[in-house]
Chain A
Amino acid sequence: MQIQFFLQNINYIGSSCLFVIGLYTVLTHPNLIKKIIGINIMETSVFLFFVSIGFVQGGRAPILQTSGNEAVQYVNPLPSALILTGIVVAVSITVYGLSMIIKIYNAYGTIELDEIMQIRSEEAND
C-alpha cells in the first residue's frame, strides 16, 4: 500500500526532493558556481513537476493525424510547450549568472563568498 503510493507519485516526490536540494545548495553553499548549479536544480524540479502534470498514462505524442478514425489518447501538450519557454528563461538566467561570476572573479580573485566577504571587511577597515 505504502510502496504503491510512492510508486504512483514518484514524479511529485522526486521533484519536491530536487526542489529542496536545490534550495539548500543556493542558500548554504559559499561557492558561487555551485549556487548557480543549485538554481538550475530548482528550475529542473519545477520543470519535472510541470511536465508530469500533463502526462496521461498510455497517451501518445500530441500530433494530429488526419487518417484513421479511432479515438486516441494524447498527452497534454500545453505543459511541455510552457516548459520549453521555461528552459529558455533558465538558460538565460544561467548565462547571466555565470558572466557575473567571471566579473566577480576579475574583481576579487575568488568565487568563494566567504572569502569575498573577508576581503570586503578588510577593505572597509582600511
Chain B
Amino acid sequence: MISMHLPVYILLLLLATALIIPLATKLSNLEIKIYMTYSLIVASLLSIATVARVLQAGAYVYHFGLRDPMIGVEFVVDEFSAVMMALVLILSTLVVLYSYRDIEHEIYPHLVPGYYTLVFLLMFSMIGMILTNDLFNLYVFMEILSLTSCGIVSIKRKKENLLASMKYLMLGTIGSVSILMGIAFLYMVTGNLNMTLNYEIIQEVWHIYPRNILVALGFILTGFGIKAAVFPLHTWLPDAHSTAPTPSSALLSGLVVKIYLFAVIKMIYRVIGFDIVSQLDIPLFLTYFAMVGMIMGSVFAIGQKDMKRILAYSSVAQIGYIVLGIGLATERGLSVALFHVVTHALMKSALFLSAGAIIYQTGKRDVRYFEGIGYQMPVSMIVFTIGALGMIGIPGINGFMSKWYLGLAVLDAGRPLILLVILLSSFLNAVYYIPIIISAFLKESADRENVMIVDDVPKSMTIPMSIIAGLCIIIGFFPQLVMTFIERAIPTFF
C-alpha cells in the first residue's frame, strides 16, 4: 500500500528546496542544478505514486492534525487533483531543465538562485491550491502564487517587465481581495471554512440567505476571472506573459492560469453547488464571456508582431474554450474543460519553449524575421509547428481532441450555434499561426541560404521541449490516457 502522506512530502520537499537554494552559497552552480533536478524528479515520482494510490484505493481526505472538519485543515486527493499534481510537477520539471541554460541568457547571474527559489515556491503554492479543501487555505496559497508569479516576471529587470508586473500585481491584488470578500460572505452564512461542509450547509440554507450567496458568488467569480484572465478582465496577461523570461512564460501560461480555473471549478461545483449556480443563470453568462474571449483573443493576436505576444493573446482565446466548457453546465462540458486544461498546458508550454529557443539563438522576437528559420533551427520549429497545429485543431495532436470533445459537448447541451463560434475561432487561430509556419519552412531567408542544419541551442533546451511535443502527439492519438481519470473524477463534481 502506498503511503497517504505523499502529497505532504511533495510540498515539504519543494518548500525545503526553495529554502536551501539561496542558503547554499558554498555549493557550485552545477551542484545546485543537480540538487534541484534530483528533488524535482523525486517529487514527480511521488506524484505518480499518489496517482497510482488513488487509482488503487480511491480518493481520500488528508487531515492536518485535527480531524474535526469545522476547525482542521484538510487536503482532498481525488482522481483529477492527483493527475493535475502530476502534470504540474512533470511539466515544471521539463521547464526547469530547459531553463538552466536559457535563464543565464535572460537575467543577471546573481539573481539566478533567487529565480529558482521563486519557481519552487510557485510550484509549492500551485500544488497547495490544487489539493486544499479549505477556503482560507486556498486564499493563502493563492497569495503566495500571485506574489511569486509577479516575481518571476519582474526578475528580468527590464523597463517593460517592471510595468507589466506592476499591472499584474495591481489587478491580481484586486482579484484576491475580491475573493477574500466572497469568502467572508460565505463564512457569514456557514460559519466554517471547510469546502465540503460549506457545500452541505449552503444546500440547506440558501433559500434563507439568497443575497449573501449571490454577492459571494459575484465577488468570487470576478476575482478568479481577473486571476484567470477571462476575456474582459484579461488586460494584464499579454504584458506579463510576453515580457517574462521564457521559462516563466511557459509556467505562467501553461500552468498558473489553469490552477485558477481549476479553483473556479472547485468553487462553483464543490462549494456553492451546481443547482444554485444554474438557478442563478451563471453558466449562461460564462458562455457569453467565453465566446467573446475565444474570438477577440484571436483577433488581437492577429494584429501582433512580437512572437511571445501572439502566444499570450492566444492564451486568452484558449482560456475561453475552458470557460465555455465550464459554462455548458453538463458533465461532458466539464470533462472537456478539464481535458483542455491538460492539453493547453502541454501545447502552450511547447510553443513558448520553442519560441524561447528561437529567441535564444537568433535574438529575434518579430515574426516577420522568421523566414527560413525552419532550416536554421529545425527541432525548435518542428516543436513549434506541432504546438501551433494543435492550437488550430489538426487531427493527430491533442488540441484536435479537445475541440472534438468540445463540439460533441456543445451539441449534447443542445446549443449548436456555439459550434460556429468554435469553428470561427479555429479559423482565426489558423490565420495567425499558419503564416509563421509557412514563412519558416517555405520562404527564403535574407541572411543565409536555406540549408538544413541542426539547432545550435543546448541539448538541455531541445530535449525537454521535444518531450513535451511528443506528449502532445501521444495524447492526440490516445486521449483516453487523460480522459479515464477525468471520467472518474467528474461524478465527484456533481
- Contacts between chains A and B (CB distance < 8 A), count: 68
Q: Does A10 contact B (CB under 8 A)?
A: no
Let me know if A93 is at the binding interface, CB within 8 A: yes
A53 and B187 form a contact (CB under 8 A): yes
Chain A residues within an 8 Å CB radius of B180: 46, 50, 86
0 or 1 for each of A72-109: is its CB under 8 Å from B? (1 = yes): 00000011001001100100110011001101100110
- On chain B, the residues within 8 Å of A78 by CB distance are 71, 193
Q: Is the interface of A mostly helix, strand, loop or mixed?
A: helix
Which residue in B136, B157, B170 is a CB contact (below 8 Å) of A82?
A: B136
A23 at the interface (CB under 8 A from B): yes
Kindly state whether residue A21 has any CB partner on chain B within 8 Å: no
Q: Is the CB of B181 within 8 A of A104?
A: no
Cα of A100 to Cα of B155 in the assembled complex, Å: 10
Q: Which residues of A contact B181 (CB under 8 A)?
A: 19, 46, 49
Q: Which of A17-40 contact B (CB under 8 A)?
A: 19, 23, 26, 32, 35, 39
Of the candidates B157, B162, B174, the one whose C-beta lies within 8 Å of that of A26 is B174
Of chain A, the residue at the smallest CB distance from B144 is A89
Given A23-B174, A43-B177, A103-B162: A93 in contact with B184 (beta carbons within 8 A): no
Contacts of A36-62 to chain B: CB distance below 8 A: 39, 42-43, 46, 49-50, 53
Measured CB to CB, the nearest residue on chain A to B172 is A93
Contacts of A50 in B (CB 8 A): 180, 184, 187
Pairwise interchain contact B166-A32, C-beta atoms closer than 8 A: yes
Contacts of B159 in A (CB 8 A): 107-108
User: In the complex, what's the smallest C-beta–C-beta distance from A90 to chain B, in angstroms?
Assistant: 9
| B150, B166, B177, B181 pick with most chain A CB within 10 angstroms | B177
Cβ contacts under 8 Å, B169 to chain A: 93, 96-97, 100
- Interface size classification for chain A: 20 to 34
| B354 is an interface residue with CB less than 8 A from chain A | no
Q: Which listed residue, B139, B150, B163, touches A96 by the CB 8 Å rule? A: B150
Contacting pair B177 A46 (CB below 8 A): yes
Interfacial chain A residues near B140, Cβ < 8 Å: 85, 89
For residue A116, which residues in chain B have a CB less than 8 angstroms away from its CB?
163
Interface centre among A26, A92, A100, A120 (most CB of B within 10 A): A100
Task: Scan residues 167-215 of chain B and give those whose CB is less than 8 A from a CB of chain A.
Answer: 169-170, 173-174, 177, 180-181, 184, 187-188, 193
CB distance from B140 to the nearest CB of A (A): 6
Nearest residue in B to A23 (C-beta to C-beta)? B174
B-chain residues with CB within 8 Å of residue A85 when the two chains form the complex? 136, 140
Nearest-CB distance from A88 to chain B (Å)?
9
The CA of A46 and the CA of B170, in the complex, are separated in Å by: 16
A39 is contacted by which of B136, B177, B187 (Cβ under 8 Å)? B177
Within the complex, the shortest CB–CB distance from A105 to chain B, in Å, comes to 10
Closest chain B residue to A32, Cβ basis: B166
0/1 per residue, B135-147, Cβ < 8 Å to A?
A: 0100110010001
For the complex formed, measure the closest distance between the CB of A70 and the CB atoms of chain B, giving whole angstroms: 25
A10→B174 CA distance, assembly (Å): 24
Q: A108-B159, A120-B163 given; name 7 further pairs at CB < 8 Å.
A: A46-B184, A78-B71, A79-B187, A96-B150, A96-B169, A100-B165, A100-B169
> Can you list 7 contacts pairing A with B, beta carbon distance less than 8 Å?
A46-B181, A53-B184, A85-B136, A85-B140, A92-B147, A100-B166, A103-B154
- The interface of chain A, by Cβ under 8 A from chain B, is 19, 23, 26, 32, 35, 39, 42-43, 46, 49-50, 53, 78-79, 82, 85-86, 89, 92-93, 96-97, 100-101, 103-104, 107-108, 116, 120
